[in-house]
Amino acid sequence: MSERKRRGSTVERYIVNRLTAKGFACLRAPASGSKRKQPVPDIVALKDGVIIIIEVKSRASEENIYVNRDQAEGITKFSERSGGELFLAIKSPSGIRFLDFSKLRQTRGGNFVADKNLISSGMSLEDLVRHVESKLVKKLDLFA
Amino acid sequence: MSERKRRGSTVERYIVNRLTAKGFACLRAPASGSKRKQPVPDIVALKDGVIIIIEVKSRASEENIYVNRDQAEGITKFSERSGGELFLAIKSPSGIRFLDFSKLRQTRGGNFVADKNLISSGMSLEDLVRHVESKLVKKLDLFA
């Protein structure tokens, strides 16, 4: 396993462990590199009917993050079918940020980019948990 | 990989491919045997906000199927946290049946058993898809 994949896997496990501690049911995708016809996201996190889809990227410095077009299309399609919300989790030396994937900018080549400003505006893990819990409250209100 | 695991994995892929063709977003768990603290189900299948959790068992003849207590507790807890529905998918020479996990009988030892009658009363894959689609219609009605 490459250093980059190993690091990504460590971040995935960290996110899964933290969300599990917050009451989520989390499933990680099988290690990438397996024979998959279509890209699937790294993590599916579920809580009381709320569906969160997470793709994880790790970077050693504070540069921009790119998601190539095929991968972006695969995980966007997965998220749309699921009825969930898609987030890009970026682990950098300054911590982990969760970005609404629809906020990423598409380049002329069709790839997607998260620049430094977008990344620094992302949610912390605690923000993400609060976001999901606010959706749960709204769901309950529907039945009140 | 043991013959039994290999067979289970083939059935998982078959179910994922069929459900994906029906518009689901499906994620398979990493191969079992990885260092997991708590059991996770084999497949999470999502469609427009409906969450289906699937544990897969394969058997070479028409005998009863057992799920050991630890595994049953793990996948039940996962399903409860997710807000989804838990099914046991049983592949036998006569085909695949999906059983509502809560219908399994608990033995004195704490394990869970699906006997022949329960298995033969299970849903086909098409039944499962219709079941999910009927839930989608009900969801839409809520907002009508």
If one counts every other C-beta atom within 10 angstroms of the C-beta of residue B109, the result is 9
Is A51 an 8 Å CB contact of chain B?
yes
At residue B144, the pLDDT reads 63
For residue B32, indicate whether it is catalytic. yes
Q: What residue ranges do the domains of chain B occupy?
A: 3-142
Q: Which H or E run includes A27?
A: strand A25-28
Options B2, B32, B58, B134, the catalytic residue: B32
Say whether pLDDT at B143 is over 90. no
- Return the SS3 of B7: helix
pLDDT digits (tens, 9 = 90+) for B64-109: 999 999 999 999 999 999 999 999 999 998 899 999 999 999 999 9
| Mean pLDDT, 10 residues at a time, chain A of 144 residues | 72 96 96 65 97 94 90 96 97 93 94 93 96 86 70
B126 phi and psi, to 5 degrees? -65, -40
Say whether pLDDT at B135 is over 60. yes
Cβ-contact A14, A46 below 8 angstroms: no
Total-model pTM: 0.92
Between positions 82 and 121 of A, the ones with CB within 8 A of B are: 82-84
Q: Which residues in B lie closer than 8 A to residue A50 (C-beta atoms)?
A: 83
Cβ contacts of A138 within 8 Å, gap of 6 or more: none
Of B97, B81, B4, the C-alpha closest to B40 is B81
The residue-averaged pLDDT of B10-35 equals 88
Of A62, A40, A53, A64, the C-alpha closest to A115 is A64
CATH fold, domain A3-142, is Trna Endonuclease; Chain: A, domain 1 (3.40.1350)
Rounded-to-integer distance, Cα A85 and Cα B39, Å:
25
